[in-house]
Structures are given as C-alpha cells and as structure tokens.
Structure 1
Amino acid sequence: MDGWRPIMLPANTDVLVVGAGPTGLTAALTLARRGVGVTVVDRLDQPPRTSRAAVVHAYTLEELDRIGAGAPLVARGLLSRGFTVRDRDRTLLAVPFDGLPSRHAYALMVSQSVTEEVLAGQLATVGVPVLRPYEMTGLDHDAAGVVATFADGATVRARYLVGADGMHSAVRERAGIGFSGPAGGAESFALADVRVESALPRDRVSFFLAGSGPLVWAPLPDGIVRLVAAVAEAPVTPDRAYFQALLDERGPARRPDRVVEVLWGSRFRIHHRVADTFRNGRVLLAGDAGHVHSPAGGQGMNLGIVDAVDVGDTLADVLAGGPDGLLDEYAARRRPMAEEVVTFAARLTRLATLPPAARPARNLLLRLADAVPPARRGLAMRLSGLNRRDGSRG
C-alpha cells in the first residue's frame, strides 16, 4: 500500500513474542488477557494466505475458550464428527469424536490462515497489533532480561522472550538450544486445497493407507477439501493432474474422486525434531520452534497452541511475583508432550508405509480395534489431545 510504514518497535516490553503464527498469536493473547505488556513481531510483511494445518482439536478449543478465542473460531469452521482409517474403499477403523468428554465433541476443520485471522482479530481488540516486518537477527542475555536486535538495526529490551518462530527458529538458534531427532532424511509432502467431486462423507477426515504413502482427505468449509500426501519428491507447485493421480492411486477405487479445481498447491519437507530444552534463561520456546513432525493426525499446530497458553499463563504468574522455578516447570511439562506427539505422528506414518507382506496383518488388527469400543475411544482421546489434559498446567 502506497505510503505504508511499519509500526515502530518499542524500546522496552515485558514479553517479546517472536513469530505471529497460531502459536505466537495465542501466546500474545494469553499474556494480554492477563494484563501483561506484550509485543509480537513477525518477519513477514503480511500473514501467509496458505497454510499446512487444517484441524483444531477438542482440547485445543478448550484452551482457546480460556482466552476468548474458541467461540469465534468455531463459528468459522466445519465440525467433523470422526476420523476414519481406510484402505481404498474399505473402512478399517472409524474413530468417533461425538463421545468425547468435552463441550467440543468434534474436530474443527478450519484453515490455519483463518485461525490466524481470528487470533489476530482477538489480539487487536485488546490493543496489541502484530508488528511487521521485523526479522530478529541478534539476541543477547543479561540478568535483567534479553535484548533482541532486528535487521534494520532496531533493538527491543524485554524481561522475557518467547520464540514462536517456527521450525527454522532464529530464537532457538541464537539462544543456543539444540534441535535433535532421529537420523535420516526429511519427509516430503504435497498439499493442496481443492474442489473435488467425491462420494466420501463431508463430516469426517479420511486417512488413506497406501503402499506409496499416506493420504489425508480433510473437508473444510465452503466445499473445499484439504489433501496432504507423503511423497518421494513433490513438484514445486503441484497441479490438478498431480493430485488427481494421487487420488487415483491412493483414494477411493469404486467411486473415484475427481479433482475439479486446485485453489492452491504446495510442498514441504520436515525432519522429526524436538528442542533439547524449552527454556534457556529468559528465553522460552513454543510451537514448531520446539517440535516438528509428520502432519499425520493433525497434531502440530494444536500442540503449539496449547504450548502457547501454557507459556503465557506461566510468564504472567512469574511477572506477578511467582517463583522463577515456574519457568522450569513449563519446560519440564512441554518437552515430554512434544516427544509423545512426535512419536505418535511417526507411528501413524509408518502404519501407512508397511511393506506389502505386512499389510494384511495391519488391516486385520485395525478391523479388530474397530470392534473394540475402548480402543476407538482411546484413539479419539489421543487425536483430540484430551489424553494430555491432566498433564497440562491446571
């Protein structure tokens, strides 16, 4: 926009949040609701229009309710009542969400860009803008706090800093925090929002198992479907023909889907990684800065949002006079949860890529689990995040 200038950075703030994705926005909103002075910055000049995450689970919605963001987000999404694991036309396991012990007995299907829009809107109502574009290039510690330096030479002194700047986190790197995981190459994924003619139900997510890799078929509002597929190597901009071929290979066979339009397509690569610690002095990590993994099960953004509410409440308590040890407790809570989610997502991916000889036994085990209500309930609790409710900060 002609004449546009970025809002100037303050010289001082109680908490500086670096990164304005769902995690950073949630952390800032949690702090602002608690009356803490917070500044949130992002290196991009505008929010991205496309995104990977497409589901907000029940426990995440409960946490968003605590900061006033749950209801406006639910109003923008589509309610999914279950999750199905399929081998082409055969449903192997159906996981219902309508029996979850939560007021949100569903998974909310909504694009990450909409989630960010809702969170930024809530943040604006409490007078906290997102400051763009500011790329952090330096970080110094002292006994009183941290000093962040930005690409334009500006500096901000903060009592505490939250790194919510994603898997390539500058905060994590400059804080000297390791980011470790299993040996091996990165996983490659293709994803797109499409319009598709399909006989699949539009009120549940379908997770297709295929020898070449899993395919997630996730309905979104306005008749859109999010496709995510693990692939050997995706093109830079996968097109309609590419996703049609994936559906023909992995999706329904008797009544095949037909891709009508690709609204946008992209690719990404990830390693499975967890930060060695979620705290170094007055620097704390949350979201993808602390953990990255396969998108199977839709866990990444959800865990990041729950991290964010936790770190926001913990910092607010410390700034109100609580002991510094509360920050160590935050780090001690979050890392095991990240490890558990990384392991769970990896198992879902491996389930889809077993060698041909093992697939009949896998399918039989899934059908047996489908016949056992406690097994289906246990998986619903895990997918929804409600299994982690008791281990989170009360």
Structure 2
Amino acid sequence: MSLPARTDVLVVGAGPAGLAAAIALADAGVDFVLVDRQAEGANTSRACVVHARTLEVLAELGVTDRLKELGVVVPTFTVRDGAAVLARVPFAGLPTDYPYTLMVPQDRTEAVLLARLREAGGDVHRPVEVTAVAGDATGVTVTTSAGTVRAKYVIGADGMHSRVRDEAGIGFTGATYAESFVLADVRMSWPLDREEVSLHLSPEGVTVVAPLPGAADRYRVVATVAEAPERPGVADIQSIVDARGPEGARTRVTEVLWSSRFRVHHRVADHYRAGRVLLAGDAAHVHSPAGGQGMNTGIQDAVELGRLLARVVAGEPDALLDTYEAKRRPVATEVVAFTDRMTRMATLRPRVARVLRNSVMKLAFSLPPVRAKLAYRLAELAAR
C-alpha cells in the first residue's frame, strides 16, 4: 500500500495499543493511517495476560469472544514461598462479566486485533519507520522512510523507545531495575493446578508461572535473574524452577518453545500530550511484569484515546483531548507503583524480612476483603 500524504490521525506502532486505537478510529469512521517499522507483525508470545477490564474494553470492539477461543481461563492468583501458600486470590465474584484472567500469547492477540481492523476496512503500512515529527497549530508533519504524511493528530504507540515521544520532547521519567528478566514459554511437568497463575517469592528473585493454551504441559515462566542469557534454554529454566518452585515438587522442563531476556524499566511519560501528538501504551509507561499489567493498561489507553480523537475530528473542542492525560496518566502511575511494590516485596533477601513478610501476608490474605481488593486491583477494574 502506498502511504497517503494526508490523514486525520496517524498511528505509529502496530502492537496491541496501536491496533486497538486504529480499530476505535475505524469504527468511528475517522480517516487514519497506521504504520509500523517492522516488516511483519510480531510472531512471538511476549505479553500473555489479559485482565478483566481489558476484556471488557475489547468486548466493546467485538474481539473478546475470539480471544477466549484461543486462550485459557485462569480464575485464581496465588502467592507462594517454597511450599507455603501466602495468598490465594480468586477472581470469582468480581463485578464483571469476566471474573478471571485470560492467558493468550501476544502474537495471537495481535492477530485477532489485526483481523478485526481489516474487517473495519483498515490495515497496517509496513515497513515504515518514522524519522521526524514536527507539529504546528494546524497539524503534524511526519517524515517516514516511505514518505511524508501530514496529519491533524499523531498517536505514538511505538513502544518504550518511542521516536514519536522523543521527537515531541516529552520526558520519560523513572529508572531501570538492576536485575534482568527471563521470559520463556516451555513444556514442563508442573505440580500446581492449571487454574492458577502463581507468583513465587524467593531470595533468588521473583518468578511467575502461568498456564498457556494448548497442551497441558505448556507454561509461561517469567523470572528475575542477575544476568540472563541471551536465549535461555532448558537448563536455565530448570534451574530457576528447581530453586524457586514448590519445595519437594518434581518439576521437569522438557522443551523451551520460545525464550528471551530483557531489562525492565519503571517509567511514565511526563505528559501524554504535546500539542497534536499523544502517547499510548509502552510509549507512555513501562513497568515490572509482576501482575501482568503492561499490555492491559496500554490497550485501555488506546481505546480511550481513539474514541476521544474521533469526537474531536468530528467537531468537538480540541480541549477534550486534555481529559485523556487527566484520566489515564494516574492509572499508569499507580500501575508503576503497584508493580514496583510487588517486585520489591517479592525479592526481599534478608531472612528476617522474609519471615516477617510471609507472616503479614498470610494474616492479611486470610481476610476476604483483602483478597477481594487485590483481585479487583489486578483485574484493573479500578481503571473504569
């Protein structure tokens, strides 16, 4: 497809956030262009947790039922330290039509969103790399590897290293965790129920294990390590689950289906808007994967922003767009703080501190209101 010279909204980045924003624009009849620098869509698993609030938002776009067919429903979140269960948090009873977490790999989520976008008449221009963004009082001129586009508004959904954010001069305040993260989809024998996502606390680091759709031995493992290998293999994952999994359990990793390593930042954009340039997804906020909040928050950003832009393009005051940052940035700052607390709590090393933490958690989560509050928080229902 040739790149149009003019459009109402240019969306940069065709990950989950960019695709969701484009669907919202397409459904409203807005003229838009969606570009991505990659030659083809993501074909790796990456983020795979979809929480209740995101399922509500995606249901409005008509894709939740499709995702459910591809995912596995997980109704419980647990926190463990060795053999001890410190907290068992059920999602049942939440005030939503989706009282659970849905585990579905990101490549499948993106495929479903792309199919939905095409049904609405849209598509992605690839590979198109943005090299400059210059805004003025009436629009934004965006220089790309495929030509120049003049847009009334630009959505930067181009990830943590956002060129759009940098070109707009928006700061990205925060820091980087010292540890690196291992991310792997594996086949393994795992002693815990496939109806739970489990967070394992240990002085070696935080580890999350969650079931994946498909065969009963497919799981996602996310773990902090001092220095992760470039492509974690069977021996690497085996050593992690041996050291941090349930004590006395027989766990055997038989295959690594996909793996990666990454460093995690906890950062929030200083502003979500600079004139006619607006940010969504990882371009606006990044944080620890503890709790699986990142992609969820980004999709919710994108749908909210797409709908606001549709109203402005249709003639409502431009000032309406100021409500986007006012509503969504506090959500991101709370997510960053929440996931940072989870990460630091999970990686306590002194034995006395760990014993105290475990005792407090067991006592607190024996109370139904505390369990319900955490379930509500993880499900992101507070972001309605």
TM-score, scaled to structure 1: 0.95
Q: Which amino acid aligns with 1:209?
A: L
Structure 1 residue 365 and structure 2 residue 353: aligned? Answer: no
How many angstroms does 1:52 deviate by? 2.4
Show the 5 A alignment for 1:63-142: 63-142=57-136
Is the contact between residue 86 and residue 209 of structure 1 (CA under 8 Å) also seen in structure 2?
A: yes
Deviations 1:361-384 (A, max 9, x none): 111111112210000000000000
Cα distance in 2 for partners of 1:66, 1:277 equals 27
Q: Which amino acid aligns with 1:365?
A: V
Deviations 1:20-42 (A, max 9, x none): 00000000001111111111110
1:311 pairs, out of 305, 309, 323, with 305
Equivalence for 2:165: 172
Equivalence for 1:233: 227
Equivalence for 1:326: 320
Structure 1 residue 148 and structure 2 residue 172: aligned? Answer: no
Cα distance in 1 for partners of 2:41, 2:291 equals 25
Cα distance in 2 for partners of 1:58, 1:262 equals 29
Is the contact between residue 186 and residue 271 of structure 1 (CA under 8 Å) also seen in structure 2?
A: no
2:198 pairs, out of 206, 209, 226, with 206
TM-score, scaled to structure 2: 0.97
How many angstroms does 1:325 deviate by? 1.3
How many angstroms does 1:314 deviate by? 0.7
Q: Which amino acid aligns with 2:41?
A: P
Is the contact between residue 177 and residue 263 of structure 2 (CA under 8 Å) also seen in structure 1?
A: no
Equivalence for 2:44: 50
Cα distance in 1 for partners of 2:177, 2:166 equals 21
Deviations 1:34-88 (A, max 9, x none): 1111111100001121142111000000011111122211221100001000012
How many angstroms does 1:142 deviate by? 1.8
1:302 pairs, out of 285, 290, 296, with 296
2:5 pairs, out of 11, 17, 31, with 11
How many angstroms does 1:170 deviate by? 0.4
| Unaligned 5+ runs, structure 2 | none
Q: Which of structure 1's runs of 4+ aligned residues deviate more than 6 A?
A: none
1:374 pairs, out of 354, 369, 375, with 369
Q: Which amino acid aligns with 2:44?
A: T
How many angstroms does 1:253 deviate by? 2.0
Cα distance in 1 for partners of 2:179, 2:143 equals 33
Is the contact between residue 174 and residue 268 of structure 2 (CA under 8 Å) also seen in structure 1?
A: yes
Q: Which amino acid aligns with 2:57?
A: E
Provide the secondary structure at the position in 1 that maps to 2:214.
helix
Cα distance in 2 for partners of 1:86, 1:262 equals 24
Q: Which amino acid aligns with 1:387?
A: A
2:257 pairs, out of 263, 277, 282, with 263
Provide the secondary structure at the position in 2 that maps to 1:330.
helix
How many angstroms does 1:185 deviate by? 5.0
Root mean square deviation, CA, Å: 1.1
Q: Which amino acid aligns with 2:167?
A: R
Is the contact between residue 179 and residue 227 of structure 2 (CA under 8 Å) also seen in structure 1?
A: no
Cα distance in 1 for partners of 2:125, 2:226 equals 38
How many angstroms does 1:186 deviate by? 4.8
Is the contact between residue 187 and residue 271 of structure 1 (CA under 8 Å) also seen in structure 2?
A: no
Relative distance call for 1:186 and 1:321 in structure 2 (3 A) is farther
| Unaligned 5+ runs, structure 1 | 1-6, 390-394
Cα distance in 1 for partners of 2:354, 2:332 equals 29
Is the contact between residue 162 and residue 285 of structure 1 (CA under 8 Å) also seen in structure 2?
A: yes
Deviations 1:186-206 (A, max 9, x none): 541001000111111111100
> What count of residue pairs does the alignment treat as equivalent?
381
Is the contact between residue 23 and residue 164 of structure 1 (CA under 8 Å) also seen in structure 2?
A: yes
Equivalence for 2:269: 275
Higher alpha-carbon deviation: 42-51 or 76-85: 42-51
Provide the secondary structure at the position in 2 that maps to 1:85.
strand
Equivalence for 2:188: 196
Is the contact between residue 74 and residue 197 of structure 2 (CA under 8 Å) also seen in structure 1?
A: yes
Higher alpha-carbon deviation: 375-384 or 267-276: 267-276
Q: Which amino acid aligns with 1:193?
A: D
Provide the secondary structure at the position in 2 that maps to 1:148.
strand
Cα distance in 2 for partners of 1:126, 1:238 equals 40
Provide the secondary structure at the position in 2 that maps to 1:222.
coil
Equivalence for 1:33: 27
